Amino acid sequence: MEKLLIKGGAPLKGEVVVSGSKNASLPLLAAALLAGGASVLRGVPALRDVKTFGSLIGNMGAGFTFEDARAEINTAGIGNFAAPYELVKTMRASVLVLGPLVARYGRARVSLPGGCAIGARPINLHLVGLEKMGARIQLEEGYVIAEAGRLNGASLYFDIPTVTGTENLMMAAALAKGTTVLENAAREPEVVDLANALISMGARIEGAGGSLIEIEGVDELKPYSYDVIPDRIEAATFAVAAAITQGDLLIRNVRPDHMDAVSIKLRETGAEVARTPEGFLRVRGTGRPKAVNITTMPYPGFPTDVQAQFMALMSIARGTSIINETVFENRFMHVPELKRMGADINLKGGLATINGMEGLKGAEVMATDLRASASLVLAALAAEGQTVIHRLYHLDRGYERMEDKLRAVGADVVRIS
């Protein structure tokens, strides 16, 4: 199995280009199922999750090609409405095909995603929403079996603002009869990107980006030709890389307005974070970071997807910081690994108390999920000596050529098998 070898200590300097957003690309690929013909998505990152999604819709009979960040999805041949366990277990976002399949084809058989390293992650809110729109849903042998005639618009309220739940139901509502109102909807930029693509397909959607989204269903949607937004989590990971190595990075292909919470918190640690006249982000470390508390929250709050990376930074901060994880109950799998590198972290429920150390030391560590892997890479970049990161496949699910990008700005990193 492949491993990453990182020798820490070098300040990262130079320019890094962020890829297209993983968490925007996946719902956009699913949205192609809502239309007949070929949709084209540009700026798609070459990631394991994107390839898995290609296999998923290929398995349904759709055409899928992916080259040079351009994905083309042709729905003409679709004849199988299933998302099998083998694919869903490697990528929970497979559940995003549920809304489009039920809305356009009136049926779907989608494996229930189980719990995962970061929490139980149920999809009850997706299912209740589809039922309220008229779908008949049964759970059989670990599969969601959904059937429907044309869906009806409905007034839906999310107990928790769920990102993929909002996306699934927004896609379903786009083809339903009548008006759907989604209250307490997720406000993430990826939801807005999906809404914009759906609007370009002929959907009538208002309010995406706010917590109340109104969708007036239409009879038919046409394929899209669309550019995905940059990955704000990858950008944030590079921003922390600059701060943790006392480096100076110009981060290109970024939407600074999607990164306000992370930028503000990084500035509180003492890092310089500036938007350049071209609209890029420049991040510069200015000495040992100051301890800062964070609480993860749905957007526009501090993203749970940057919590692990920020914890690496706090591990070497001056003082004690508290990280409160409120989105996922178990998203602290990186803690024991960071401790192997010398971090001083105490966990109690959703709270991590981090006593900043003067430095970390290289060690053998294991990636346990996607963002935990990124946190270990960041810790390794700052640590004294060599770190070996095992189970790299987690990192490859969500970061495109991460080690190449890091090497280009001065990191000593190699992948070995």
Specify the residue, 217 or 398, whose C-beta has the smaller distance to ligand EPU. Answer: 398
Q: Which has the closest alpha carbon to 217: 124, 97, 134, 123?
A: 134
Determine, following the binding rule CB under 6 A, whether residue 10 of this chain makes contact with ligand EPU. no
Q: How many CA atoms lie within 13 A of 68 on its CB side?
A: 0
Q: One of 76, 116, 120, 212 is an active-site residue; which one?
A: 116
Determine, following the binding rule CB under 6 A, whether residue 376 of this chain makes contact with ligand EPU. no
Beta carbon of residue 186, minimum distance to ligand EPU (angstroms, whole number): 6
Binding-residue pattern over the window 18 to 47 for ligand EPU, x denoting contact by CB under 6 A: -----x--x---------------------
Residues paired with 348 in a beta bridge:
351
Determine, following the binding rule CB under 6 A, whether residue 162 of this chain makes contact with ligand EPU. yes
Q: Which has the closest alpha carbon to 205: 231, 244, 159, 171?
A: 171
Specify the residue, 119 or 202, whose C-beta has the smaller distance to ligand EPU. Answer: 119
Selected from 160, 212, 274, 414, the binder of ligand EPU by CB under 6 A is 160
Cα(224)–Cα(70) distance, rounded to whole angstroms? 13
Cα(96)–Cα(111) distance, rounded to whole angstroms? 11
Specify the residue, 239 or 383, whose C-beta has the smaller distance to ligand EPU. Answer: 239
Determine, following the binding rule CB under 6 A, whether residue 284 of this chain makes contact with ligand EPU. no
**Exposure string over 268-307, b if 16+ CB within 10 A, otherwise e:** ebbbebeeeeeebbbbbbeeebebbebebbbbeebbbbbb
Specify the residue, 178 or 209, whose C-beta has the smaller distance to ligand EPU. Answer: 209
Name the DSSP class of 92: G
Selected from 50, 98, 125, 395, the binder of ligand EPU by CB under 6 A is 125
Beta carbon of residue 161, minimum distance to ligand EPU (angstroms, whole number): 7
Determine, following the binding rule CB under 6 A, whether residue 234 of this chain makes contact with ligand EPU. no
If DSSP codes are grouped into helix, strand and coil, which group holds residue 354? strand
Cβ atoms of 338 and 311 closer than 8 Å: yes
If DSSP codes are grouped into helix, strand and coil, which group holds residue 156? strand
Cα(366)–Cα(345) distance, rounded to whole angstroms? 17
Is 116 designated active site?
yes
Specify the residue, 218 or 333, whose C-beta has the smaller distance to ligand EPU. Answer: 333
Stretch of residues binding ligand EPU (CB under 6 A), selected from 12-20, 50-58, 123-131, 198-206: 123-131
Point out the residues that are catalytic.
Answer: 116
Under the rule (CB under 6 A), what is the footprint of ligand EPU?
A: 23, 26, 92-93, 119-126, 160, 162-165, 186, 190, 304-305, 327-328, 370-371, 398
